[in-house]
Structure 1
């Protein structure tokens, strides 16, 4: 059919018993990807992030796939995928939390919209403690709802009434390998504690409305104790071009060997191309629309008023640089910093 119709590709998928959908694509849709048109009514925690090779959109649905692993080497387009994700969430009523142990260079531009940011391992350890406390409080709230005989029984926050339902929390961990590195015995104790806390959040966070996006250039069992267990809890997988076959296998081999093979064949001259899969075994090539760092930072500045109140995270709220007012601000004056809570 591809030859007879002169098509670029033909995709076949079952829609219901006895029915197949044939989709003929006339050109390489991943060659030039434009942002998806905004829906009239945005669905909470559901974002179109990348165009699939069959012409449909890969939609990141946190309530269906609560946690995700994003891998990619330098200049692979991983950061662009993350920018699209953060900008989509910034427009919604969501608590955004960041851990970036590269001194915050990757997530600092989004500080106006972040409720918390940890830029070193010690601060990340304290932030994870605060998130665990928040999760425990939410489970107590869910348990109390069952004491009311007139209430609808629920085992997660989405079954609670709108008036008492906590705001969803999305934790973004950039360069997860930095959390695993240890130079001495004290670092090893802190590393083991942080990894254990991340695993607890991944195992229990979905019911409490806490979701994880774990990013890295390299992810393998040699990172240390707990790496494989953490990966097993991250249902969604996004693998951009990586520097070694082991990383592609760590991300996708348990989903499909063909998916891991496809990830190792991504060319270096096509940044943004990735292989997306989940635990159902389905996978597809996708490409994120280009979004510059300046545009992404502007979206976070414009949506800073949407930062939800979560007092437990106030001490981790990042400071935001604000240009000095008056004529001197146009002459290259040094910006001043203020907490975004002011």
Structure 2
């Protein structure tokens, strides 16, 4: 072997080693540079065989059979037509025209076989329009190292990105479409990080944030500059919920008074929620964040039971009627089950959004995701301990997806809340509950 050949082999080994290192340490860079080309070639080369092996091909049409017979050939089976291949930062997006008689469920049943055949990390199917499907191939594990895009299309009032989905798309928390949400997760599961990311994004909008943190405020107190109201104890929470319900009633009175229904009122001016009111009289949206809902259900004596029943009743009223008044609930807890007490199931039924991080018991996962999909319950119970921030969510379009929140520190969220403190709307009813800033004395270190 000549010196030139040895040098070439060494160069090839170094290139292969570099690509392997890049694929492991920087999978996103590897995909953008090389991975997409390899996957596209493999896809085009094996498309027919994979479709036939996965049972997604059909018998040829009569015209094809007759033509093949005239040419003395064996007619090929009909395949779903591959209309378009789009390369993205995370994978490939295929536009496929289905065959007559096929539906999305046929492709959903073959997602694992497609994933292994094309050697991708994940396959997600979505119906675009009748007769067309979008197959999203994920080239690598985008949830291993979450990097949220700097600019997210579709962000608007009460619609903010809070996590990254397994298919590479940002997960948007849309309060207008899903007014209330239940978030469950065990200790160190990433539930608090999810909540910080939500507060961080909402703090940049003219939205009133109200917190109920019965852990003496250790979770929500650092964001006090941006909060319009905060309750530290169950006693304060009971009073705050009463005020919120009264505020909701006053907003309904405003809607009813603004409807008018007189001779001079046009059909376009009639509304059944605050969003149809003129901007000059429209009240600010309120997002109520309950950090540990189980603390509101716990009782020690008869007096606590009476207060508990009152609080749960007010929470259910807010969940049932708050949407039209632009009042929304974000209910969080380490666990949530019917054994919490009377009203737990009724409250859960009103919480449209569901997010389940790693939980310690299957009952909590079933309580959150059982009415969405049993597969989603199983996925929530299999979240690894070393993947904090990973969760399973119910989608507004139906079905479920895996997400993972990018790490957001308390300092980062507190800094954003302080920067946008001027956006906190003034709501007279919540003036008594607005947290007051206190400066703790700093004890000087003693010198020896």
Contact 1:255 1:279 (8 Å CA) reproduced: no
Distance (whole Å) between structure 2 residues aligned to residue 54 and residue 117 of structure 1: 37
Alignment TM-score, normalising by the size of structure 2 = 0.71
Offset at residue 171 of structure 1 (A) = 0.2
Structure-1 residue corresponding to 2:47: none
Task: Indicate which of 69, 73, 90 corresponds to 2:186.
Answer: 73
Unmatched segments (≥5 aa) in structure 1:
333-342
Contact 1:111 1:318 (8 Å CA) reproduced: yes
Verify: 1:157 aligned to 2:274, yes or no.
yes
**Which has the higher mean CA deviation after the structures are superposed, 190-199 or 30-39?**
30-39
Give the alignment's Cα RMSD to 1 decimal.
1.7
Query: C-alpha deviations, 1:283-305, integer Å up to 9, x for none?
Result: 10000011111111111111111
Query: C-alpha deviations, 1:291-339, integer Å up to 9, x for none?
Result: 1111111111111111111011000011223478xxxx8968xxxxxxx
Structure-1 residue corresponding to 2:87: none
Task: Indicate which of 15, 18, 22 corresponds to 2:128.
Answer: 15
Structure-1 residue corresponding to 2:150: 37
Distance (whole Å) between structure 2 residues aligned to residue 202 and residue 208 of structure 1: 11
Report SS of the residue matched to 2:385: coil
Contact 1:87 1:300 (8 Å CA) reproduced: yes
Counterparts of 1:245-324 in structure 2, within 5 Å, are: 245-278=362-395, 281-322=398-439
Distance (whole Å) between structure 2 residues aligned to residue 4 and residue 118 of structure 1: 54
Unmatched segments (≥5 aa) in structure 2:
1-113
Distance (whole Å) between structure 2 residues aligned to residue 246 and residue 35 of structure 1: 31
Based on CA coordinates, which of the two structures has the bigger radius of gyration?
A: 2
Distance (whole Å) between structure 1 residues aligned to residue 150 and residue 356 of structure 2: 25
Query: C-alpha deviations, 1:198-248, integer Å up to 9, x for none?
Result: 000000000000000000001000000000000000000000000000000
Q: After the TM superposition, which parts of structure 1 deviate over 4 Å for at least 4 consecutive aligned residues?
A: 39-42, 329-332
Task: Indicate which of 238, 243, 252 corresponds to 1:130.
Answer: 243
1:191–1:280 Cα change, 3 Å: farther
Structure-1 residue corresponding to 2:301: 184
Structure-2 residue corresponding to 1:47: 160
Contact 2:358 2:384 (8 Å CA) reproduced: yes
Structure-2 residue corresponding to 1:338: none
Structure-1 residue corresponding to 2:286: 169
Q: How many residues align?
A: 328
Contact 1:10 1:24 (8 Å CA) reproduced: yes
**Which has the higher mean CA deviation after the structures are superposed, 69-78 or 142-151?**
142-151
